Amino acid sequence: MYIWSIISSPIIKLSKMEPIRVVIVEDDPDIRQSFETIVGNAPGFDCIEAFVNAEDAVEGIPALRPDVVIMDIHLPGMTGIEAVQLLKAQMPALQIAMCTVYEDDEHIFNALKAGASGYLLKRTSPEKLLEALYDLYQGGSPMSGEIARRVVNSFQQKAAPSPELAVLTTREKEILDLLAKGYLYKEIAAELFISIETVKRHIHNIYEKLHVQTRTEALNKVFRMTS
């Protein structure tokens, strides 16, 4: 079981007045309760609903208009990956993070291809979970360290650089490399000694130049996958 204690001090300072609205989709009652408690008691977050299956989530989420969704993969009936595909078709701007015990390449890439913007393991600490949700809300693509390494290894083994790299500046290539390694925006800022706003501006420019909207799309375009 993944039962976590609640962190007592705020780890994130939000710039907007309204809290980040979070929906949870998880069939395990203990894990679902843990997520609800972590998110519901964290400053700057509001757990507005929790679903036990994908069918109810697909039906209910569009009306709720959440900022971010935590989606389990292995659900009874429709899978979390299938739910992501359906939700993204209705709500392209919806930010979804898969949160699961699965860390094999097939599940990871199927989830990202379906439209998930992040991929976290359920053993992620409460602090890291909240940081990831905030990063997701800000337009990032958070991944657990283990997941990021698998993604990078897959690109290194199967990919060849594409001409798209030529349109990027040296700084943009550095940031793209850190995105591929699963760095959060604040971690990129610290690594390169620049502000988070500067990181966001560079990422916006990268996406504009590559004509993409997410980290996964950018990496797929810059590194041509052979499988």
> What pLDDT, on a 0 to 100 scale, did the predictor assign at position 9?
37
What span, in angstroms and rounded, lies between the C-alpha atoms of 204 and 217? 13
> How much is the pTM?
0.66
> What pLDDT, on a 0 to 100 scale, did the predictor assign at position 25?
97
> What pLDDT, on a 0 to 100 scale, did the predictor assign at position 142?
83
Return the higher-pLDDT residue of 122 and 194: 194
Domain ranges of the chain: 20-142, 158-225
- Work out the pLDDT band at 6, boundaries 50, 70, 90: very low
What span, in angstroms and rounded, lies between the C-alpha atoms of 125 and 5? 9
Strand ranges (DSSP E) for 40-114? Answer: 45-51, 68-71, 95-100
Burial of 138 (0-12, 13-18, 19+ CB in 10 A): middle
Can you give the length of the chain in residues? 227
Separation of CA 49 from chain center: 19
Q: Going by CATH, does the domain composed of 20-142 fall within 3.40.50.11260?
A: no
Class of domain 158-225: mainly alpha
